[in-house]
Amino acid sequence: MIGHILRRRYKIIKELGLGGFGETYLAEWPQDLPVTPKYKCVIKRLIKPSTPELDTEERFKKEAATLFKLGKEHPQIPELYDFFEENREFYLVQEFIEGHDLSNEIVSGEPWSEADIIQLLQEILEVLAFVHENNVIHRDIKPLNLMRRYPDNKLVLIDFGIVKEISNLSLNAQGEISSTISIGTRGYMPSEQYHGHPKLCSDIYALGITAIQALTGVSPHELRIDSDTLEVLWIEQAQASNALVEILTKMVRYSSQQRYSDAGEALQALKQAGLLSLSLAISPRPIKIGDQYGYIDLTGRIIIQPQFDLAGEFSEGLAAVNFGAQKSLFSLKKGGKWGYIDMSGQLVIPPQFDAAEKFSEGLTLVQTGEKFDYINKSGQIIIQSEFDEAWGFKEGLALVQMGDKLGYIGKSGQIVIQPQFDEAEYFFEGLAVVCINEKYGYINKAGHLVIQIQFDYAGNFCEGLAVIRIGDQANGQCAYIDKTGQIILQPQCGLAVEFSEGFAGIKIDKKWGFINKSGQLVIQPKFYSPGRFYGGIAKVFVGGQERYIDKMGKFIY
């Protein structure tokens, strides 16, 4: 199909997915008009049933009309541009969502915070409530079908199951039309849906399982089932308030009658439990005012007064702060002791460490003298490190050093990838940068080299792409590669950083600006250093000051 042009308008350029219901492709259009550049769209090819008695054309038109209405009336559902039949196959042409799916964010061994779970539930339930009001069942809610759209960071609900069913229709012994295969994904699909009887509350079950997966860092296939009640057993693996536990428990009840009947009812339960306000509690950002650090919210309002000599970013509800650091040469602050505060500014782990990292997966690395330890959020030592140097956990593994070589340990403290690298980084999206003899490549979590060691510089994977450089910083050329090692973007710059929320910093003529995933320069170079976008804003340095910008490049503080 690659290179094939449908209806003289849509040129297939890439395969996105294959399944029992058909295929999905990325296409460029319109080929029949002198338009440059071409626009991207998604084309779904559905196999038409061979049973001639079935009026599948009418059913296809009916379901396509439903998708058209949903996409037109809600901004977080892809628009349907076109539908047609060709060579006994049905085709849907839909809006292409520039972003990444939540399987890139919901990572095994990396639990989300409660505030992030509530935000996920609120956003998807609000979209799903609109879908359910139209008496439509999505049928396949899972991380792969929840897209984080780059321009505005909103979640988009994709890949509705209603049209897939047409590919699997048949006549049963009673002459009734039925589907030969249940639509949905094992692990996320409740019992009634598996047996061919989906309900609105089947979507509630799937979303509940998705939220539990994010909250626990455990995939649905690894969750145990009570042999007597058939209920999912997950609570012992989660850190959450009783209110959230009660809501998630009701969402994933085995009996459909014991669940929330639809998204509107589940959303109302969140409101009545007083949880929705928590979803707005985006982590405060550190800001230097005078000689001390405090924290601001997304509007730039100071919410934790300047009182710390040094301050780190919030992670999993806590931030490392320093008391007693003194100015040294070049006006840098050093020394002092590190502790941790919560988002109200209260000290929860007293200052006692010589160095401290951000919390990740419930643990953080602290240093006292020459000794490294991993502590939990109560300040208790969980792993006593015997390594020459150590770093924090990411995606279930932590980087450690023995002698002059680097390797990785698991959460038991045991080595899982032997120290063998001259340089190495954290794992991001399942891959880690490693260096041997001043050249860089990428390994997977089994320690296998998946992108050969060949680059003069390599950055972490973020949103499916990583920045690499061949040649030195002065004369080399940066590019962005995908996880196969294929070059996707080649901005004209010698220095670039990773993507975040669809934006990446690049350096042009000694100043930093930002490009999008099409490689277009969307924020002009004018900063001395770029930060990562989070919640729609990024920290930058300009005129010797720390400032924050939005995605239009406007200063908000």
- Phi/psi for 468 (5° steps) reads -130, 165
Final residue before a domain boundary, out of 80, 96, 112:
96
Tokens encoding 397: 């593994």
Q: For the whole model, what pTM was predicted?
A: 0.56
Could you tell me if 119 and 196 lie in one domain?
yes
Final residue before a domain boundary, out of 230, 258, 281:
281
40, part of any domain: yes
d(CA 230, CA 216): 19
Could you tell me if 138 and 47 lie in one domain?
no
Could you tell me if 128 and 92 lie in one domain?
no
Tokens encoding 279: 């979803």
Could you tell me if 263 and 137 lie in one domain?
yes
Could you tell me if 90 and 109 lie in one domain?
no
Could you tell me if 123 and 188 lie in one domain?
yes
186, part of any domain: yes
Range of the domain at 10: 1-96
Catalytic residue chosen out of the listed positions 116, 140, 159, 373: 140
| CATH number of the domain to which 63 belongs | 3.30.200.20
382, part of any domain: no
Q: What pLDDT, on a 0 to 100 scale, did the predictor assign at position 55?
A: 63
275, part of any domain: yes
Could you tell me if 10 and 115 lie in one domain?
no
**Alpha helices by DSSP H, 134-228:** 191-194, 200-216
516, part of any domain: no
| CATH number of the domain to which 141 belongs | 1.10.510.10
How many distinct structural domains can be found in the chain?
2
C-alpha distances in angstroms, 451 versus 183, 432, 441, 553? 36, 10, 5, 35
Q: What pLDDT, on a 0 to 100 scale, did the predictor assign at position 203?
A: 98
Secondary structure E strands in 175-313: 177-179, 224-225, 232-233, 285-289, 292-296, 302-308, 310-311
Decide: 356 and 383 in contact? Cβ < 8 Å.
Answer: no
80, part of any domain: yes
Could you tell me if 239 and 275 lie in one domain?
yes
Could you tell me if 83 and 104 lie in one domain?
no
d(CA 557, CA 550): 10
pLDDT in 10s for each residue of the chain, 557 residues: 899 999 999 999 999 988 657 899 999 999 999 988 888 999 999 876 665 555 677 888 888 999 999 999 998 999 999 999 888 788 999 999 988 899 988 888 888 888 889 989 999 999 999 999 999 999 999 999 999 887 677 899 999 987 666 555 444 444 444 444 567 899 999 999 999 899 999 999 999 999 999 999 999 999 999 999 999 999 989 988 899 999 999 999 999 999 999 999 999 999 888 777 444 456 788 998 888 999 987 767 899 999 999 999 998 889 999 999 876 544 455 679 999 999 889 999 999 999 999 988 788 999 999 888 999 988 999 998 888 889 888 888 999 999 999 999 988 889 999 999 999 999 988 899 999 999 999 999 999 999 999 999 999 998 889 999 988 877 788 999 999 999 999 988 878 999 988 899 999 988 999 999 989 999 999 999 898 887 788 889 888 788 889 888 998 87
Could you tell me if 256 and 148 lie in one domain?
yes
Q: What pLDDT, on a 0 to 100 scale, did the predictor assign at position 379?
A: 94
Torsion angle in degrees (nearest 10) through CA of 16, 150, 131, 134: -100
Q: Is 388 a catalytic residue?
A: no
d(CA 117, CA 19): 29
Q: What pLDDT, on a 0 to 100 scale, did the predictor assign at position 493?
A: 85
Interacting residues of 181 by C-beta distance below 8 A, sequence separation 6+ = 20, 168
117, part of any domain: yes
Could you tell me if 193 and 65 lie in one domain?
no
417, part of any domain: no
SS (H, E, C) 84-138: EEECCEEEEEEECCCEEEHHHCCECCECCCHHHHHHHHHHHHHHHHHHHHCCCCC
Could you tell me if 199 and 164 lie in one domain?
yes
Q: What pLDDT, on a 0 to 100 scale, did the predictor assign at position 170?
A: 44
